[in-house]
Chain A
Amino acid sequence: MATRAEAGLVQPVVAGWLDRARSRPGLLFAGLVVVLSAALVLGVGFGTVSIAPVDTLGILVHRLLGLNLGGHWTAAAETIVFEIRLPRVLSAMVVGVGLSVAGATFQGLLRNPLADPYVLGTASGAALGAAIGILIPIRIALFEFGLVQLFAFIGALLAVGVVYRISRTGALSPLTGLLLTGYAVGSLLAAGLALTMYVSGTNLRQIFFFLLGGFDGSSWLQLAGTAPLILGGSVLIMLRAGPLNGFLLGEETAGNLGVDVRRERVILLGLGSLVTAAAVSVAGLVGFVGLVVPHLVRLVVGPNARRVLPISALLGASLMVGADLLARVLGEIPVGVVTAVIGAPFFLVLLRQTRSAYEL
Chain B
Amino acid sequence: MTAALAFDGVSAAYRARDVLVDVSFLIEPGERVAIIGPNGAGKSSLLRAMTGSLRPRAGSVRLGGDPLAHLDRQAIARRLSVVPQAAALPYAARVEEVVGLGRLPHEDPLRGQRPVDRIVVAAAIERVGIGALVGRDVRELSLGERQLVLIALALAQAAPLMALDEPTVHLDLRHQVETMELLVDLNERDGTTIVAVLHDLGLAGHFFPRLILLDQGAIVADGPPDDVLADGRIRQVYGVDPAFVRRSGPLVPA
Contact = CB atoms under 8 A, between A and B. Distances in A.
Interface of A: 111, 113, 239, 241-242, 245-246, 248-250, 252-253, 255-261, 298-299, 302-304, 306, 354-360
B112 A306 contact: yes
The 5 A-B residue pairs whose C-beta atoms are closest, nearest first, are: A258-B77, A258-B105, A357-B139, A258-B74, A250-B88
A126 to B, nearest CB: 28
B88 A249 contact: yes
A184 to B, nearest CB: 23
Contacts of B72: 260
B12 to A, nearest CB: 17
B89 interface: yes
Given A303-B97, A356-B91, A256 B81 contact: yes
B45 interface: no
A249 B51 CA distance: 16
A356 B139 contact: yes
Contacts of B93: 248, 302-303
B92 A257 contact: no
Nearest to A360: B91
A359 B84 contact: no
A358 to B, nearest CB: 7
A255 B112 contact: no
Given A258-B76, A258-B77, A356-B137, A252 B53 contact: yes
Interface in B47-66: 51-53
Nearest to A255: B53
Interface in B139-191: 139-140, 157
B102 interface: yes
Contact of A298 (B76, B92, B107, B157): B92
Given A241-B112, A242-B107, A303-B97, A255 B73 contact: yes
A256 B77 contact: yes
Contacts of B84: 250, 252-253, 256
Given A257-B157, A258-B73, A246 B104 contact: yes
A119 to B, nearest CB: 16
A173 to B, nearest CB: 11
B81 A111 contact: no
Nearest to A249: B87
A259 B75 CA distance: 10
A111 B102 contact: no
B46 to A, nearest CB: 15
B232 to A, nearest CB: 37
A353 to B, nearest CB: 12
B110 A113 contact: no
A248 B140 contact: no
Which of B75, B93, B98 has the most A CB atoms < 10 Å from its CB? B93
9 contacts: A239-B110, A252-B87, A257-B157, A298-B91, A302-B92, A302-B93, A355-B140, A356-B137, A357-B139
Contact of B51 (A246, A255, A304): A255
B90 interface: yes
A245 B208 CA distance: 34
Contacts of B92: 113, 298-299, 302-303, 354, 356
Contact of A248 (B75, B76, B94, B101): B101
Contact of A249 (B74, B80, B89, B157): B89
B109 interface: yes
Nearest to A243: B104
Contacts of A257: 77, 101-102, 104-105, 157
B212 interface: no
Contact of B78 (A248, A249, A258): A258
A354 B78 CA distance: 35
B195 interface: no
B82 interface: yes
Nearest to A264: B73
Residue among A239, A258, A299, A304 with most chain B CB within 10 A: A258
Contacts of B137: 355-357
Contacts of A248: 90, 93, 98, 101
A272 to B, nearest CB: 18
Contact of A242 (B75, B98, B102, B112): B112
Contacts of A255: 51-53, 73
A301 to B, nearest CB: 9
Contacts of B75: 258
Given A239-B110, A258-B78, A355-B137, 9 more contacts: A239-B109, A242-B112, A257-B102, A258-B73, A299-B92, A302-B93, A303-B92, A356-B139, A359-B139
A140 to B, nearest CB: 41
Contacts of A358: 91
Nearest to B78: A258
B91 A303 contact: yes
Contacts of B89: 249
Contacts of B157: 257
Interface centre among B76, B80, B90 (most CB of A within 10 A): B90
B51 A256 contact: yes
Nearest to B92: A356
B90 A111 contact: yes
B196 to A, nearest CB: 15
B47 to A, nearest CB: 10
A299 to B, nearest CB: 5
From A256, A299, A354, A356, name the one whose CB has the most chain B CB atoms within 10 angstroms: A256
